Amino acid sequence: IGIEMVRIKKDTPEMKYYSTKLLDSALDLDGVGFPLKEDEIFDEDQIKVAFDSWRLSFMIAICTSEPDVIFKYLLENFIKQDWSVPTRIQVLTCIGLSCRELCGKEDKFIWGKTNLDKAAGKKLPGPGHDLFLNLDLGHGQDQTKKIVDIDQENRETQLVEAFESVGIGKGKVVRKSRKLAIDKKSRDSELAQGKTMHTSFINKKLPPLYYTLSAIWQEVNSQTYGAGFNVGTLSEYLNSHFLDILTMVYSCGVPSCIELVDMSIELIAVLSGQLQAIRTHAGDEFPRLLFKAVVNGIRLLLTDNERTLSVLRSTAMLEISMLTETLAHIVNESPPLEETEKTMTAMVLQQLQGYLYNI
């Protein structure tokens, strides 16, 4: 019920005040005593997977309720806190999936997004609730004014109007427009297909978040000579996941973000720099996960992005040429990839070369 309660408290003063405290509590929880159905038996690994999924969904609910506060809080603590690698990976995942939800994309595996009406307290349908809340305010008056005294007769009249506005006590049949029903069906269909809907977040809040993530990555690489986060044997897992989330946040802006061209140039610089680092450390064990994350980033850059790519042809052709040449050089060295990864890499390289040489 915790996830649903957070979601129905979105945009409330309580949520704004307690959001960071709730997030800290989520990160401190463990899976001991995690509630499961009594008639089902799970081993420890299955319980951990279920708990991690629940906790991630809980964090996403908090993040999407207060994105400005939580994004800043997570990124600041990602740098400062002594979090474990699994916690850092889950925090990055929370950021990426929260961005997708805030942009209007649908991820059905996230818990607690349905049946919110059952978790919320009951209230009058439609405009009746607002009418009762504003019962003491005069019609047409400035809503910021103090509550005014009105005589009992007017109060009773407004009470009757409030009931009648929601179809109570008058026995009238409310006819629903067929056009409204079609429009609603169309909107529901768009949401179900995961189409981008929320342009306010995409244009105003997504770019600063993306640039902050990119700046963190660039700063870390400048201190480690292109090696990314140095956390021992788990370094490649964290670095590849960071790049995956960076490109996921970027993809949330495709194709409608007004800063997409500058974001694309930034992404090209990040991906090209990482390919250079992989090429430089060719004598070491090949970082397959990191290379896969870079290839996936290039794929997202080239997908459904024709308008931006047409602009980049005149503004960032040198950067794209360097990206293409470095990727081609690594591919020619026959890195140890699985067959599916080889196929994906070859396809992405072919797309890049076709774009570069206008094939």
Q: Tens digit of pLDDT for each residue in 257-316?
A: 999 999 999 999 999 999 999 988 766 689 999 999 999 999 999 999 999 999 998 899
What residues contact 143, with CB distance under 8 A and at least 6 apart?
134, 137
Rounded to two decimals, the pTM is 0.77
Integer Cα distance of 164 and 173 in angstroms: 11
Nearest CA to 114 out of 7, 23, 2 is that of 7
Q: How confident is the model at residue 193 (pLDDT cuts 50, 70, 90)?
A: very low
Per-residue pLDDT averaged across 175-201, rounded? 54
The values of phi and psi at residue 139, to 5°, are -65, 135
Tens of pLDDT, residues 101-126: 999 998 988 988 877 666 565 555 55
Scanning the chain, the segments in alpha helix (DSSP H) are 2-8, 13-28, 44-65, 67-80, 85-102, 116-119, 128-133, 152-165, 178-192, 199-204, 206-224, 235-251, 260-280, 288-302, 306-315, 317-332, 339-356
- Is the separation of the CB atoms in 101 and 206 below 8 Å? no
CA distance 231 to 242: 13
**What is the token pair recorded at 246?**
């960076």
**Count of CB atoms situated within 10 Å of the CB of 175:** 6
